[in-house]
Amino acid sequence: MRRRSWVPYAAATTVFSGFWGAFSGLPTTEYGYPAELVYAIWAVVMLVPAVVVLRQGGFDRRLSSAAYGLAIGLTGAGGQLLLLRALSLGPAYLIFPVVALSPAVTVLLAVVLLRERMRPLAATGVVMTLAAAVLFGTSPSWHPSAGGAWLPMVVVVTLCWGVQALLLRKAAIVGVGESTSYTYMTLSGLLLLPLAVSMAGGLHLDVPWQAPALAGATQLLNAVAAYFLVMAVSRGKASVVVPVTSALPPVLTTVLSLLAYHRLPTALAALGMVLALLGSALTTSDTAPAPRCDGEDPMASAP
């Protein structure tokens, strides 16, 4: 058993996710690059950190590890593709607050299934960060509605992402190493790559080269953030880590957007920033790492 704090990894997740959030929309807004192709590029650039972490942590070849890894990867990547489809049908200002509830799904499942417990202050902080996530999810933008057909999709996305975080924690408990979980996340994203290209109507090779290049740079930030999230959830309680890593990145994104684009946050976003900062401070008071198995892959050297 190892007792290592999850806080530095959550902080790294916040930094990389915050920068990604501030600039991830540029390929689409500036060059009209389809969001589905941005997903495809994300799936490819996930290979970069995957190669690095495999050299450091090895790969677990057990069937049980494959089951956990593919479940983790497909719930995350599948949810992302389904969200893109939902955004083409429904209003973003309704969709994102629902998706922002995915940490609440993780907290509920972690408390019930993993029997995680929190100190009263930490529990208060979790509630505040969940509220902040919903506030940040509120968007003034509008997409053409399609009679509510998007709602079941969004519910599935919320459940997928909530379950994914729980599976990351459970995988760590049963001894699946971070490098193995991340590698299967990468493979799962690649499995869905043809579907993403099909949804985009092809590769759109006529766009300026800056569009895929910018998408690659921003999605690399996203890929690295995903690995740090795996590290954080492996070392801390899912019911504590996930709300913090969901609420803090939008705070940094808002600050960066203010500096780069001279845009003032809305009143709801400002309230979300306050709740996220206060809630995260309270939540991180519960810094004792959850019990976990050794992070090294026990079968990394197996034939």
d(CA 245, CA 225): 10
d(CA 282, CA 119): 10
Calculate mean pLDDT across residues 171-187: 95
The predicted model scores a pTM of 0.84
Whether the Cβ atoms of residue 1 and residue 291 lie closer than 8 Å to each other? yes
The pLDDT score that the predictor gives to residue 101 is: 81
The pLDDT score that the predictor gives to residue 144 is: 41
d(CA 181, CA 108): 22
Calculate mean pLDDT across residues 188-198: 95
State pLDDT tens for residues 90-125: 776 667 777 888 888 899 899 999 999 878 888 888
Quote the distance between the C-alpha of residue 285 and its chain's center.
23
State pLDDT tens for residues 238-272: 999 999 998 889 888 888 877 877 777 777 778 88
Cβ within 8 Å of residue 104, ≥6 positions away: 130, 162
